[in-house]
Structure 1
Amino acid sequence: MRTLPMTDTELAAWLRLAMARGLKPAALRTLLDVFGLPEALLGEPFATLAAASDEATARAVLTPPGAGFDGQLAAVLAWRDEPGNQVLTLGDPAYPPSLLTMPDPPPLLYVKGRLDLLHARSVAVVGSRSATPQGVEDAGRFARALSDAGLAVVSGLALGIDAAAHRSALHGPGSTIAVIGTGADVVYPSANHQLAHQIAAAGAIVSEWPLGTPARSAHFPQRNRLIAGLSSGVLIVEAAMRSGSLITARLANEMGRDVFAIPGSIHAPLARGCHRMIKQGAKLVETPEDVLEELGFEIPVVAPALRETASARHSLAPEARQLLDALGHSPATLEILAARTEMGEATLQATLLQLELGGHLSVLPGGRFVRASHS
């Protein structure tokens, strides 16, 4: 996938419009439909632009750029010359076609990495920054399965669910796309610096923000609309009631994309956002195959992994099976398990150790036990 050759003068005109204060993407798209390229638009008189839009939009277009514009343009030209970096405009054939179905696609996109992924079928996997260990495991398992099926996994490079989804998707052929709320030359949070480097090498990083733009809370809802726009569907893994992931899901629904949610315990705060979305019409999913099936992929009737899991559980000792049943699918303390099973302390400790060594459960901070998702 190649971009159109663009002269420095053409890029300067696009950048000026993209950075024009008060010029909304939807209004700019309307004007470009009427007048063609940015250079032609910038050459029109005020009255003509106002007649095609409104006076505020015309004023935003024709207001001269600020004093720092030349420096910004020089920085963009230098950044574009670095290997793997591309600047896409609305008029470029490499621009993601899925974003063109939105009313307000960004006039400029800064991309590090593989342009072909922006034309691939994709699914967003999003969720809480403060994810539980089970949520991180679920995000990774779903993302890897989706990537193995050839879908690009889109997320927002945040801590928690986003990072887990990106890491796992990188191991599959579908790879991953990180849509960020900062300039393309800024990594936020800094803890994901190495992950961002891996995504730029094997996936794609996308930003609509000018280079050097730091992280600001107001940018992330706008970032979320691009995550929704790029994707065929959005999967919410864990989300509190007030969550950016729910914004992404709502935007996806408005754009006609599928919305999926993984249910959890009624006692878990990070399950409440998922349950709310399910009540509002999101599809409840328990396995990656549920998502793939909704998207039209053919799924084998009985997956070999499920047969292996059933066989492994059947081979457990009776005490171990009893303890797994007592544990259920929510974290529990030693005291709770002792009350549910009525096992002696020595038997309980030995059985817990056996299950932990066998990969059937994990120990969480605070001395709580949680069942592995495959058990």
Structure 2
Amino acid sequence: MELDLESQCWLFFSLLKGVGPRKISRLLSEFSTLTEVVNADRSRLRQLGLSSEQISAVDDFVCAREPELYRQHRDRIQTWLQHPSNTLLHQNHPDYPAQLLQIYDAPLVLFAVGDCTRLMLPQLAMVGSRRASPAGLDAAYHFARELSRGGITITSGFAYGIDTRAHQGALLGSGGTIAVLGTGADVCYPAQNRKLFDTLPENGVIVSEFPLGTAPQARQFPKRNRLISGLAAGVLVVEASLKSGSLITARTALEQNREVFALPGSIQNPMAKGCHQLIKQGAKLVDDVYDILDNWQSLFSFQIQLCQSRPSVRIESDHSAAPKLESMPAKSQGDLTEREQALLNVMGYDIEIPDQLIARASAPAHEVMQDLVMLELKDYIESVSGGYRKRM
């Protein structure tokens, strides 16, 4: 696939120093396309806010005297676009996500890997700690899987921890997942996520606003966060400390008029304190997927309207009503003995040490230890560092 002239113009302006979304919006209030802009009378461009240096750069672009940086970037994109799953989107492209156009400082261009029409489907962002607890990781995977099975696309940031588990869980459902990178769309970071990076576009999209080849740098990730919340109708914070970057995403979501949800955790878990703070400040407490699914229509109504305004995207009829979870066999507890069931009933989802369980069950130590082994074999609990934990 070759870059058409309009796409080249958007790419050029995205790299032109001092030109951002507001200046582009001003230009497009007078002209229909950026192709018209680069061919317009220069005095009119000056009146619309372009500096002499910027107009000189436009002249060089029109006369094919572009800076070496632009030519290198354009040629790299041309090669990248040879793969059929890769797309360069600009704000006038029919597949550019309409909900992003509603936020401040929407990117002029996006690099997408996968079916880019998914970017306009109803989405819920899931974010949380890179150093999450086992319970937090399980919750992220469980919620993402079930919400995706309900037809909701899960959007996250491809980081370690909560993000990674959310993507992995969402891939198991029809909703799929969107990974918003803080690097170029062709850069896998963290490197240990290579398998996920390679397989995700089969049921999702990798998207980035950063030029191809952009390596990870700390300042890029807060900027990425506004796209995670901007693409979605709401943000679910699964587990976060008081200093977590996830709270930045939550704040950005509020500024973008998106819903914020938070999953409560143990009062003894420092990685849950950020969620508890959000709940105190008005975030909606979520402890079940139906807390979101039952409010599906109101939560995603604005995204559905925006999707239907774009000719390239069609919301199928089964998305017009609240989604249904795919049928899953419920885990039967009929295989437990009375003693095993009693022990399971006194266990929580936090890590429990055997001495606590022995005291709580009021049973001999050897019986409790035998029952713990059987519960683990029957997949009701798991052995973790420090003790045992009930599976979700």
TM-score by shorter chain over 0.5: yes
SS of residue matched to 1:123: strand
Kept after mapping to 1: 8 A contact 2:135/2:350: no
- Find the partner of 1:30 among 20, 26, 29: 26
Post-superposition offset of 1:292: 0.9
Query: 1:74/1:141 Cα in 2 relative to 1: closer, same or farther (>3 Å)?
Result: same
SS of residue matched to 1:204: strand
Structure 1 gap segments, 5+ residues each:
none
Post-superposition offset of 1:195: 0.5
Query: 1:201/1:61 Cα in 2 relative to 1: closer, same or farther (>3 Å)?
Result: farther
The equivalent of 1:230 in structure 2 is 231
Is 1:220–2:221 an aligned residue pair?
A: yes
Pairwise mapping of residues 278-357 of structure 1 onto structure 2 (< 5 A)?
Answer: 278-296=279-297, 298=322, 308=330, 312=333, 316-357=336-377
The equivalent of 2:121 in structure 1 is 120
The equivalent of 2:255 in structure 1 is 254
Kept after mapping to 2: 8 A contact 1:42/1:61: no
The equivalent of 1:137 in structure 2 is 138
Per-residue CA distance 1:109-135 (angstroms, 9 max, x = gap):
111111221121111121111122221
Query: 1:315/1:200 Cα in 2 relative to 1: closer, same or farther (>3 Å)?
Result: closer
Q: Provide the C-alpha distance between the structure 2 equivalents of 1:267 and 1:59, rounded to a whole number of angstroms.
A: 60
Quick one: which amino acid aligns to residue 51 of structure 2?
A: A
Query: 1:110/1:163 Cα in 2 relative to 1: closer, same or farther (>3 Å)?
Result: same
The equivalent of 1:369 in structure 2 is 388
Is 1:266–2:267 an aligned residue pair?
A: yes
Quick one: which amino acid aligns to residue 25 of structure 1?
A: P
Post-superposition offset of 1:244: 1.9
SS of residue matched to 1:178: strand
Identical pairs, percent: 37
The equivalent of 1:76 in structure 2 is 77
Post-superposition offset of 1:283: 0.9
The equivalent of 1:13 in structure 2 is 9
Quick one: which amino acid aligns to residue 193 of structure 2?
A: N
Post-superposition offset of 1:160: 1.3
The equivalent of 1:190 in structure 2 is 191
Per-residue CA distance 1:38-84 (angstroms, 9 max, x = gap):
3443456776445434xxx6367446364322111111111112221
Runs of 4+ in 1 over 6 A off after TM superposition: 302-306
Structure 2 gap segments, 5+ residues each:
58-65, 298-320
Q: Provide the C-alpha distance between the structure 1 equivalents of 2:163 and 2:216, rounded to a whole number of angstroms.
A: 16
SS of residue matched to 1:239: coil
Superposition RMSD on alpha carbons, in Å?
A: 2.6
SS of residue matched to 1:332: coil
Quick one: which amino acid aligns to residue 124 of structure 1?
A: A
Is 1:58–2:51 an aligned residue pair?
A: yes
Query: 1:88/1:161 Cα in 2 relative to 1: closer, same or farther (>3 Å)?
Result: same
The equivalent of 2:380 in structure 1 is 360
Query: 1:60/1:233 Cα in 2 relative to 1: closer, same or farther (>3 Å)?
Result: farther
Q: Provide the C-alpha distance between the structure 1 equivalents of 2:351 and 2:56, rounded to a whole number of angstroms.
A: 59
Per-residue CA distance 1:124-159 (angstroms, 9 max, x = gap):
121111122221221111111111111111111111
Moved more, 44-53 or 335-344: 44-53
How high is the TM-score relative to the length of structure 1? 0.88
SS of residue matched to 2:257: coil
SS of residue matched to 1:34: coil
Choose between structure 1 and 2 for higher RCO, CA contacts under 8 A separated by at least 6 residues: 2
Kept after mapping to 1: 8 A contact 2:3/2:78: no
Kept after mapping to 1: 8 A contact 2:45/2:55: no
Q: Provide the C-alpha distance between the structure 2 equivalents of 1:61 and 1:68, rounded to a whole number of angstroms.
A: 16
Quick one: which amino acid aligns to residue 100 of structure 2?
A: L
The equivalent of 2:302 in structure 1 is none
Matched residues, number: 361
Post-superposition offset of 1:241: 1.1
SS of residue matched to 1:327: coil
Post-superposition offset of 1:220: 0.9
Q: Provide the C-alpha distance between the structure 1 equivalents of 2:133 and 2:55, rounded to a whole number of angstroms.
A: 50
The equivalent of 1:86 in structure 2 is 87
Q: Provide the C-alpha distance between the structure 1 equivalents of 2:172 and 2:225, rounded to a whole number of angstroms.
A: 24
Kept after mapping to 2: 8 A contact 1:289/1:299: no
